[in-house]
């Protein structure tokens, strides 16, 4: 298991549940890692200037197509990077349980789908989904 997953797992295990964060909306886009080589940002900027990403322009915004990051992954993700959890907009605090919907459907715990009371265990479910995707991703690319 990658070191960053182990650190997130330890964080979840040691986070108290009463009168503190109850759910963290744990998903890959809410976990940041330190960039190993800051020059990759300049490379990405130059690649965008040389060959702009396709985009859709609406009345309210511009939507850019996602593009692969230039260079090797080792330049982007530092091996000693500690994960930083971010975007606590959907985080819940205080009560021991809730019943409203949270989490993206893809990572949603069964008790949330069923509108049953849920608590800190939903983050463990999210974490398990993320680890499962990392483990299964080589196999999913073969069948998808």
pLDDT in tens, 62-71: 998 888 877 7
Burial of 81 (0-12, 13-18, 19+ CB in 10 A): middle
What does the pLDDT look like over 85-127, one tens digit per residue? 888 777 787 777 888 888 888 888 999 999 999 888 888 888 8
Total of domains in the chain: 1
- Residue 140: give the domain boundaries: 1-27+90-144
Please tell me which residue in 37, 43, 68, 123 is annotated as part of the active site: 37
Q: Find the angle CA(128)-CA(85)-CA(6) to the nearest 5 degrees.
A: 45
* Residue 4 within any structural domain of the chain: yes
Residue indicated by tokens 């070191």 = 3
- Domain-embedded: residue 131: yes
Residue 102 domain-assigned? yes
Predicted pLDDT of residue 83 = 79
In a domain? residue 20: yes
Residue 37 known to be catalytic: yes
DSSP state of 118: B
Angle at 105 between CA 122 and CA 63, to 5 degrees: 125
Query: Regarding predicted confidence, which is higher, 139 or 48?
Result: 48
What percent of the chain is predicted at pLDDT more than 70?
Answer: 79
CA 142 to chain centre: 23
Judge whether 74 lies within some domain. no
**How distant is the alpha carbon of residue 45 from its chain centre?**
23
Does residue 76 fall inside a structural domain?
no
User: So what's the pLDDT on residue 5?
Assistant: 57
Tell me, yes or no, whether 56 lies in a domain. no
Rounded to two decimals, the pTM is: 0.59
pLDDT at 50 over 90: yes
Phi and psi at residue 84, to the nearest 5°: -120, 120
- For residue 49, is it within any domain? no
Q: Give the model's pLDDT for residue 143.
A: 53
CB atoms inside a 10 Å sphere around CB 40: 16
């Amino acid at each position: 298991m990658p070191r960053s997953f182990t650190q997130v797992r330890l964080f979840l295990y040691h986070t108290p549940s009463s009168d503190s964060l109850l759910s963290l909306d744990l998903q890959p886009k809410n976990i940041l890692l330190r960039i190993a080589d800051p020059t990759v940002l300049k490379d990405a900027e130059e690649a965008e200037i040389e060959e702009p990403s396709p985009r859709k322009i609406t009345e309210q915004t511009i939507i850019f197509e996602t593009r692969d990051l230039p260079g090797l992954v080792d330049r982007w993700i530092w091996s000693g990077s500690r994960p930083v959890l971010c975007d606590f907009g959907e985080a819940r605090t205080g009560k021991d349980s809730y019943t409203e919907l949270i989490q993206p459907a893809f990572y949603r715990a069964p008790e949330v789908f069923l509108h049953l009371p849920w608590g800190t265990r939903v983050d463990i479910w999210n974490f398990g989904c993320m680890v499962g995707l990392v483990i299964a991703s080589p196999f999913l690319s073969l069948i998808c």
